[in-house]
Copies of this chain bind each other. A is one copy, B any other.
Amino acid sequence: MSKPIPVGISARHLHVSREHLDILFGEGYQLTVKKDLSQPGQFACEEQVDLVTEKGSFKKVRILGPERKQTQIEIALTDALKLGIKPPVRDSGDLKGSPGLTLVGPKGEVKLEEGVIAACRHIHMTIADAAELGLKDKDIVKVRCNGERGLIYDNVLARVSDSFKLECHLDTDEGNAAKINTGNTVEIVK
């Protein structure tokens, strides 16, 4: 029996740059912590914006803080279909060539040329977790989800840092395909 890894299901959300926060919420605006997330230092904000394309929109999509260098929107492929865009499956921060959309905030709009991705599934872990699991940073592993919609995910990226907490991040499509939720556990398959 492998070490159980808690699951975190990420609903569509975005990270914003200082420059875009100024436009969307006003010059010098500071994000408000609504709730701390499981990864240390990360938090869900009170602030929400609309994601708009020619084909569709999502209202009130939550910003996750703190601010980042680049604005990044993470959506599920089911969401992408509604918006009529084709985001690549990427690791966080790798936005080159990804599609854009328009962000609508209470004080202004930002028309992004790129920044929308479907997040590559990954496991956050500390150096001690990685040692216990026999893994190193950037290893690619398989992960088993049990239950009536059980399955094994290939190509799950291990991300190792002592600033992380052990957690496997999946998007809503991936969580629903396996019928698992935040708080359930998965295990690495050798």
User: Which residues of A come within 8 Å of B, CB atoms?
Assistant: 76-78, 81, 89, 121, 148-155, 172-174, 176-179
Q: Quick one: copies of this chain in the complex?
A: 2
Find out whether the CB atom of A151 lies under 8 angstroms from the CB atom of B150: no
Quick one: closest B residue to A145, CB to CB? B154
Question: Of the candidates B78, B152, B155, which one forms a contact with A173 in the assembled complex, judged by CB atoms under 8 Å apart?
Answer: B78
Question: Of the candidates B81, B89, B149, B178, which one forms a contact with A179 in the assembled complex, judged by CB atoms under 8 Å apart?
Answer: B89
Question: Of the candidates B152, B155, B172, which one forms a contact with A149 in the assembled complex, judged by CB atoms under 8 Å apart?
Answer: B155
Per the bound structure, the CA–CA distance linking A176 and B121 in Å amounts to 13
Do A176 and B89 contact each other (CB < 8 Å), given the known contacts A151-B153, A155-B149? no
Report 26 cross-chain contacts, Cβ distance below 8 Å, ordered by A residue.
A76-B78, A76-B176, A77-B179, A78-B78, A78-B172, A78-B173, A81-B172, A81-B176, A89-B148, A89-B179, A148-B155, A149-B154, A149-B155, A150-B154, A150-B155, A151-B152, A151-B153, A152-B152, A152-B154, A172-B173, A173-B173, A173-B176, A173-B177, A174-B177, A176-B177, A177-B178
